[in-house]
Homo-oligomer: A and B are copies of this chain.
Amino acid sequence: MTLDPKIRDLVLHFGEMGSAWGVSRSVGQVFGLLFVSNAPLNADQICNKLGHARSNVSMSLKELQSWNLVQRQHLQGDRREYFTTPDDPWEMVRNLAEQRKQREVDPTLTALKSISQPAPTTEAELYAQARVDEMIAIIELLTGWYEDVKQLETMRLAQLLSLGAKVQRVISMTDRLTLPLGLKTGSSGVDRQQDTGRSDP
């Protein structure tokens, strides 16, 4: 790797964090490199700097594009394709949030709903249904909020965030507005019974 020490460290770290973020080490490193890169890079440059196989870089770039974290870019007078991360870091955060929602919560919400669909038959299913419905309600509240705020322009979003929980002051004035769900302050509305203590045979 012919990289400045700080950049090399960052690339290495993004590689290691890859697994925590659900991508491979290669993908993490390619992103790290592009993220701090002064200028767009082509696949061969990435190869050289990172020491990955050419095909691996190709795959990594494809995956990063599927996350909208890397954009291709044509340079006139050059046949090769160049790649960058978005100039605006907020855009990366937005894209990351959007993709993770699509990959992690949307499928789960769909599954939960399909579970909740047919009427429960057994006692166990009745309880399961109640639990699932509670979780559906929470997820819909969260995703609803997300859909809402993601429309905000960055400036406004930053303001909203920096306001934090101070919005509470305002909420106390809006108690007359839609109170969501049938929320109770204590534990959930579903009662869980105690087991007999014997394993089923």
Contacts and interface: CB of A to CB of B under 8 A. Distances in A.
A167 B165 contact: no
Nearest to A78: B197
B128 A20 contact: no
Given A13-B111, A162-B144, A164-B145, A21 B104 contact: yes
Interface in A138-163: 138, 141-142, 144-145, 148-149, 151-156, 158-163
A44 B112 CA distance: 26
Q: Report the copy number of this chain in the oligomer.
A: 2
Contacts of A42: 199
Interface string A112-147: 101100101111110111011011001001101100
Interface size class of A (residues with CB under 8 A): 35 or more
Contacts of A121: 4
A56 interface: no
Interface in A164-201: 164-168, 170-171, 174-175, 177-181, 183, 185, 187-188, 190, 192-195, 197, 199-200
A168 B90 CA distance: 19
A84 B192 contact: yes
Closest 8 A/B residue pairs (Cβ): A148-B164, A36-B128, A39-B195, A162-B180, A148-B165, A145-B161, A13-B111, A38-B127
21 contacts: A4-B128, A6-B120, A7-B125, A10-B111, A13-B108, A13-B115, A21-B104, A35-B131, A37-B127, A38-B192, A40-B195, A45-B200, A87-B188, A87-B190, A142-B161, A145-B162, A158-B181, A159-B179, A161-B180, A163-B167, A163-B177
